[in-house]
Amino acid sequence: MATQQTDCRHFLSLLDLSLDEARALIARATELKRMRAAGQDFKPLAGRTLAMIFEKSSTRTRVSFEAGMVQLGGHALFLSPRDTQLGRGEPIEDSARVISRMVDAVMIRTFEQKTVEVFAAHSRVPVINGLTDRCHPCQMLADLQTFHEHRGDIQGKRVVWIGDGNNMCHSFMEAAQLFDFELRVACPEGFDPDADLLAACGDRCTILRDPREAAEGAHLIATDVWASMGQEEEQERRQAAFASYQVTDAIMDQASSDVLFMHCLPAHRGEEVAASVIDGPRSVVWDEAENRLHAQKALLEFLIPH
Ligand code: CP
Ligand code: NVA
């Protein structure tokens, strides 16, 4: 049997979209948000099912995809390795062939990027990356929507990432390429983002070691936890390495007067971010979280034939 079963679109990284498609999705997300606020029913995905495979914990991703599918008239199915054959070693390829014959799209949160790629290669329906160790494209769509709603076009702006060169950092690097903004990454040595991705960003992305210097003139400052899911045993070592990388008011004060603060959540106040920053007037973290719902509804509408 052929490996690639259909030519359906997948969303495994932000760069699976063209700039025009990404811009259209963000605009559509804001429109769907307005329609929901106006109490307007919109159910283009009636009778459609989204399977959601979670190999890591989640609050926002699970709730936003499940609520989003229901709001679009469809249904979402939560699958965990604990109580499916996925956890007992059934090959990803076989799981993809079987699940994709029964549902209309699949969302996967897992460890390796390769897993979502293999699943997509054997799936008849669109596959969405709900977070891997490599990137978090759904969160990036919501973050881009949030920036756009507060400040307009992100092109040409200065975005500063402070902390770990992790999956969220990688998604910001992909967004910098697609939307053409300047990205400064302030991280301690040994925690740099992926070198190939850095090279692909060209002069749009630079690595700095001093977070205060990096923050100068920033229009957006973003951070994330110091130890991601799967790195729990490194927590102590990381806490020491990142001690001078907390986003504080002093760092925010280096930035542009209209700077925004973002964090994909969940956050650890007093570690990667001071409570006064995340709970302060420059923070848009609750809008970011809410926009997961609207951005992913736009994505589901775009990917699932109806
Ligand atoms: N930001 C995010 O993806 O949150 P969850 O881990 O709760 O899904
Ligand atoms: N970098 C974090 C993001 C969680 C949404 C993690 O991978 O755990």
Sequence spans of domains, the chain = 14-136+290-303, 139-289
Determine which one of 135, 187, 201, 264 is catalytic: 264
Top mutation candidate among 58, 59, 168 for ligand 2, by most atoms within 8 Å of CB: 168
The model's pLDDT over 233-263, given as tens digits with 9 standing for 90+, comes to 999 999 999 999 999 999 999 999 999 999 9
Task: Confirm whether 264 is a catalytic residue.
Answer: yes
pLDDT tier at 6, thresholds 50, 70, 90: low
Task: Confirm whether 287 is a catalytic residue.
Answer: no
Residue 142: closest CA among 263, 279, 296: 296
Q: State which ligand 1 atom lies nearest to the alpha carbon of 229.
A: 6
The model's pLDDT over 269-297, given as tens digits with 9 standing for 90+, comes to 999 999 999 999 999 999 999 999 999 99
Instruction: Provide the percentage of residues in the chain whose pLDDT is more than 90.
Output: 97
Are the beta carbons of 144 and 175 closer than 8 angstroms?
A: yes
pLDDT at residue number 302:
98
The model's pLDDT over 114-124, given as tens digits with 9 standing for 90+, comes to 999 999 999 99
* Predicted structure pTM score: 0.97
- Residue of the CA atom closest to atom 1 of ligand 1: 264
CATH dotted code for 139-289: 3.40.50.1370
Determine which one of 10, 109, 170, 263 is catalytic: 109
DSSP output for 186-254:
E--TT----HHHHHHHGGGEEEES-HHHHHTT-SEEEE--SS-TT-GGGHHHHHHHTGGG-B-HHHHTT
Edge-to-edge strands, sheet with 220-223: 205-208, 182-186, 158-162, 220-223, 260-263
> Does the fold of domain 139-289 match that of domain 14-136+290-303?
yes
Q: How far is the CA of 228 from the centre of ligand 2 (A)?
A: 5
CATH dotted code for 14-136+290-303: 3.40.50.1370
Q: How far is the CA of 225 from the centre of ligand 2 (A)?
A: 7
> Residue 18, exposed/middle/buried by CB under 10 A (0-12, 13-18, 19+)?
exposed
Top mutation candidate among 132, 228, 234, 263 for ligand 2, by most atoms within 8 Å of CB: 228
Residues in the chain: 306
Top mutation candidate among 131, 229, 285 for ligand 1, by most atoms within 8 Å of CB: 131
pLDDT greater than 90 at residue 197: yes
C-beta 265 within 6 A of ligand 1: yes
Q: How far is the CA of 28 from the centre of ligand 2 (A)?
A: 26
C-beta 167 within 6 A of ligand 1: no
As a whole number, the mean pLDDT across the chain is: 97
